[in-house]
Amino acid sequence: MNYYKYENQHRKCTTFRVLLILAFFSLFLRTALDASVAGNASHALQNIGTSDAAVESYTFDLAWFVLCFVITLPPLNSALFQIREQGRVLPVLIKYRFAPVDIAKMYRAKALLLLRGAVLFYIGSLIIFLAVTFTVFGHNAPIAQTMPQLGYALIFCTVFTGALLLTDWLRYKQH
């Protein structure tokens, strides 16, 4: 049995999708506002003959990205790894503890779906940021200055998703 295909077909987390759309929209608005302010400041500085410091100060808003990510990913994690029975929230894997299924493969399939959600969020955010940046600044886009923030965002996504997966595995082992 292919657990990944089964989980992909049967676990539809509408809350995650709605939050993902709202997060992308808010990231777009935030990035567009920051780019517009930096672009207008850059034009004003160029008109009076000073340096292009406003463009250099434009970066990826890491705090907003982290906030959106922390709000968006846990509902997917909850839908994949938790179940509510008799008023208690339990790890879904304990339901299959005595069934003839491979728990490790089931956990791996759920983990891949969670990782897919995290990668979707990161790549979507990256596309939104780059599209807005190149639309506002054109070939003068300050991409080199934003690379560290984009790297930090990737590291945060990896660590946060890994922490969620580790806590899910430990919660399963406790029961």
Give me the pLDDT at residue 82, please.
80
pTM here?
0.81
Q: Tell me how far CA of residue 173 lies from CA of 71, 104, 115, in angstroms.
A: 26, 12, 21
What mean pLDDT do residues 29-48 have?
A: 70
Q: What is the dihedral of CA 145, 42, 38, 131, to 10 degrees?
A: -70
Across the chain, what does the average pLDDT equal? 81
Q: What is the pLDDT, as a whole number, of residue 66?
A: 95
pLDDT at position 64 over 80: yes
State mean pLDDT over 69-81: 90
pLDDT (0 to 100) of residue 46: 54
120 CB-near residues (< 8 Å, 6+ apart): 20
Query: Which of 12-16, 117-121, 169-173 is predicted with the least confidence, judged by mean pLDDT?
Result: 169-173
Q: Is 82 helix (H, G, I), strand (E, B) or coil?
A: strand
Distance, CA of 167 to CA of 125 (rounded, Å): 26
Q: What is the pLDDT of residues 89-118, one digit of tens each?
A: 777 777 766 666 677 777 888 888 899 999
Tell whether the model's pLDDT for residue 51 goes beyond 70: no
Name the residue with higher pLDDT: 85 or 30: 30
**Residue 81 structural domain:** 3-174
Given a contact cutoff of 8 angstroms between Cβ atoms, the answer to whether 117 and 76 are in contact is yes
Q: Whole-angstrom Cα distance, residue 119 to residue 81?
A: 18
Q: How many domains does the chain have?
A: 1
Q: HSE on the CB side for 143, CA within 13 Å?
A: 13
pLDDT at position 97: 65
Helices (H), 58-102: 62-81
Question: Confidence band (pLDDT; 50, 70, 90) for 54?
Answer: very low
Selected residue with higher pLDDT from 154 and 141: 154
